[in-house]
Chains A and B, each alone.
Chain A
Amino acid sequence: MNRENSKKRVVIAMSGGVDSSVSAALLKEQGYDVVGISMQVWDYGKFAGEGEKFDTCCSLDDIHDARRVAEQLDIPFYVVNFEDEFEKLVIGDFVDEYLRGRTPNPCVRCNQWIKFELLLKKARALGAEFIATGHYARKAQDAEGHYHLLKGTDPAKDQSYFLFTLTKQQLAMTLFPLGEMTKTEVRALAARYNLRVAEKGESQEICFVPDNDYVRFIEEERGRELLSGNIVDRSGKVLGRHRGTYRYTIGQRRGLGIAHPEPLHVLELNAETKEVVVGPKEALFSEGLLADNINWIGAAPEAAIEAECKIRYRHQPVVCRITPLPGNRAQVLFAEKEKSVTPGQAVVFYDGDRVLGGGWIEKALDGGEKR
């Protein structure tokens, strides 16, 4: 038990999964005054019909698990309801983005607008000095006292990509108890602490989309076949029909339903013309990209810098040159062409282990193959 920590209150965001449960246990062991909070962000009974409401109960299994872990650790536990905010800021954005022909990343949005905004505020209101999450990421303080966001030590689990929107002020108030650990170590700890969730599997991809069927989700929210139209090639030649641009992602090869001598890939989604543009694999490669809503965790560079970037979560960082542009935008040029630059995804900038910042991909830049 660390005496220095004993008076410091930490709010741990508990999802009911292994990572946040072990985080809570570690903080408790380190002597913090730990308060567990689960965020209820989604009414799972929402799609139940009128009559069904008497038969069903919202599926609150994960919150139940979190509560039982908190009881086991003997820490106070609360559920806060952010359904309205989540619906507006995360789900609304998720659906809008698809309907704009983009491929959104709701987890980053949730971190940005819910966890490190609303939950942080709630933690402050409870007199907490920190919030903690089960993310695999680290923070470090430099000689001048500035906080930096670093990759998690386990390369297979590093989740710093999802945290690029954090500000220095938010970082100062945040703890990542799992930053130095591997998933294997975390599982071993869960077993050692005898946590009831030790055997629990990984959580599903998008927490509010049942069965990961995001197409059905969008159509239930907004209606069917909203953006149905033509599948065309670069020259504009119609090759077939599709039932909604939001059904496709950049780089996709399967499921186009077109017989063609060479394999076709989705190159572009155009919500205005309702066209899905396809072409050969070579056409998927881009020289760079434009990004907006850039957040620099430290000071924004005044001129172009050499760095690395990731253009989606499961992407090995690649060498690039980043030129800051007016209006919080940036141009990123890759050292070597990159495949499947996807508008709506985040581009995150790294200097080795350190996250410099990132932004949202507006569009791919290329050497002229795309129109």
Chain B
Amino acid sequence: MIYMDYNATAPVHPEVLEAILPFYREQFGNPSSIHWAGRMVKGAVEEAREETAALVGCAPSEIVFTSCGSESDNMAIKGTASALRNRGNHIITTAVEHPAVLNTCLYLEHQGFRITRLPVNREGLIDMNELQAAITAETVLVSAMFANNETGVIFPVASIGAICRERGVPFHCDAVQAVGKVPVDCRGMEIGLLSLSGHKLGAPKGIGALVVRKGMKLHPLIHGGAQERNRRAGTENVAGIVALGKACRIARDEMAGGAARVGGLRDRLEKGIMALFPQARLNGHREKRLTTTANISFTGLEADSLLLNLDLAGIAVSSGSACSSGTLKSSPVLAAMGVDPAAAKGSIRFSLGRLNTDADVDHVLRVLPEIIERLQKK
């Protein structure tokens, strides 16, 4: 079995698993409790907050733990929209955001907000002049991702941050695919709100965080107790938080080396595919992207048949975004990039990670020719 779908989720890191087990056993307390049982876990939560903050370049007090990346995105966008409603009703985002951002904006559009969706060029990048031009006195938020989940394309986040600061507009960055893979620095990049998700970097599913920089105005999504400095009610997912902290610690130590190693595998995979299927095309900017991700159009073939065949051969990849029902539809991200529909229909995302090896790449390149031949035959 070969797993090349790390952008969907990553296996839990064994050290992370070790680190959280005590919190499912003896360290069961509620961190809000005053007694020994509470104290036993409170420190671990705060240590995880510090580790998380250290990875993304913000103060520990600016970390709000959530349940997932989607919650973080919802909290950032809806929370800002409702806090700044009196200031304006305009939100700027991009055409290639994750559904957690796009559909939250769509919801706000139905609630009366005006949404600008910045287009991208053939390489998946937005035009900074268009961002400048889109900002008005009514604009209350710019929400742009760090790295694209389908193509791995990396936006010039620091430039977006600078423009937003200059124009006095809050900047939310969905960095779910970037954190742990490339350096993320909220201070240096002038990011006001930043979403991240634990399971993309070796923590389990069910834990995420939103960075809320000091001075940002936003309403909570979940009201209740005073947890997370009144920003997010609900008893803390202690084990999840500890896991995220541990995963961030490991990422800080291993990110640079890991990115280079996985990048080597990804490049070899890409070259191999181009050699055995010359009609194949890379989607997205060749350099400005994650070293883990390759989005390739097998022009003339059907992506879903390719994906199912690879799955039947034990190789896990993905095609477009799988919609909730599990059926396959062609990708809005590639459409926004102006990828020819015939090529988009044949596009497969390989996303590699920690456990992939040279042997995995060899195996995929060995299996592909037979599948391609079968699909060309009909």
A interface vs B, CB < 8 Å?
A: 9, 35, 40, 50-51, 54, 57-58, 60, 63, 67, 76, 78-81, 121-122, 124-127
Contacts and interface: CB of A to CB of B under 8 A. Distances in A.
A126 B327 CA distance: 16
Contacts of A40: 325, 327
A80 B323 CA distance: 12
B375 interface: yes
A124 B374 CA distance: 8
B378 A125 contact: yes
24 contacts: A9-B312, A35-B312, A50-B110, A54-B107, A54-B110, A57-B324, A60-B325, A63-B325, A67-B326, A76-B311, A78-B308, A78-B326, A79-B325, A79-B326, A79-B327, A81-B328, A81-B329, A125-B374, A125-B378, A126-B305, A126-B308, A127-B309, A127-B312, A127-B374
A252 B378 CA distance: 47
Given A67-B326, A81-B327, A125-B374, 19 more contacts: A40-B327, A51-B110, A58-B325, A60-B325, A76-B311, A76-B312, A78-B308, A78-B326, A79-B326, A80-B327, A80-B328, A122-B305, A124-B378, A125-B302, A125-B305, A126-B308, A126-B312, A127-B312, A127-B374
B304 interface: yes
Contacts of B107: 54
Interface in B308-345: 308-309, 311-312, 324-329
A9 B375 CA distance: 16
A127 B312 CA distance: 10
A40 B329 CA distance: 12
A169 to B, nearest CB: 14
A50 to B, nearest CB: 7
B119 to A, nearest CB: 24
Contact of B309 (A51, A54, A57, A125): A125
Q: Interface residues of B toward A: which range?
A: 10 to 19
B376 to A, nearest CB: 10
Contact of A80 (B304, B375, B378): B304
Majority secondary structure of chain A interface residues (helix, strand, loop or mixed): mixed
Nearest to A82: B327
Contacts of B329: 81
Contacts of A50: 110
B305, B324, B326, B329: which has the most chain A beta carbons within 10 Å? B326
Contacts of A127: 309, 312, 374
Interface in B321-373: 324-329
A140 B304 CA distance: 33
A13 to B, nearest CB: 15
A81 B309 CA distance: 16
A50 B109 CA distance: 12
A37 B308 CA distance: 11
> Lowest 7 CB-CB distances: which A-B pairs, in order?
A81-B327, A125-B305, A79-B327, A79-B326, A40-B327, A60-B325, A78-B308
A294 to B, nearest CB: 28
A50, A124, A125, A127: which has the most chain B beta carbons within 10 Å? A125
Contacts of B378: 121, 124-125
B110 A126 contact: no
A81 B303 CA distance: 13
B52 to A, nearest CB: 32
Nearest to A127: B374
B272 to A, nearest CB: 22
A128 to B, nearest CB: 10
Contacts of A54: 107, 110
Nearest to A128: B312
Contacts of B324: 57
Contacts of B311: 76
A320 B327 CA distance: 46
Contacts of B328: 80-81
Contacts of B374: 125, 127
A286 to B, nearest CB: 44
Contacts of B305: 122, 125-126
A70 B311 CA distance: 15
Contacts of A122: 305
Nearest to B311: A76
A129 B220 CA distance: 56
Contacts of B312: 9, 35, 76, 126-127
A76 B326 CA distance: 13
Nearest to B304: A80
Contacts of A79: 325-327
B13 to A, nearest CB: 27
Contacts of B304: 80
Contacts of B302: 125
A159 B238 CA distance: 58
Contacts of A35: 312
B378 to A, nearest CB: 6
Nearest to A37: B308
Interface in B288-304: 302, 304
A59 B174 CA distance: 31
A206 B324 CA distance: 25
Contacts of B309: 125-127
Contacts of A57: 324
Contacts of A51: 110
Contacts of A121: 378
A122 B311 CA distance: 15
Given A40-B325, A76-B312, A79-B325, A125 B375 contact: yes
Contacts of B325: 40, 58, 60, 63, 79
Nearest to B301: A125
Contacts of A63: 325-326
A126 B375 CA distance: 8
Nearest to A50: B110
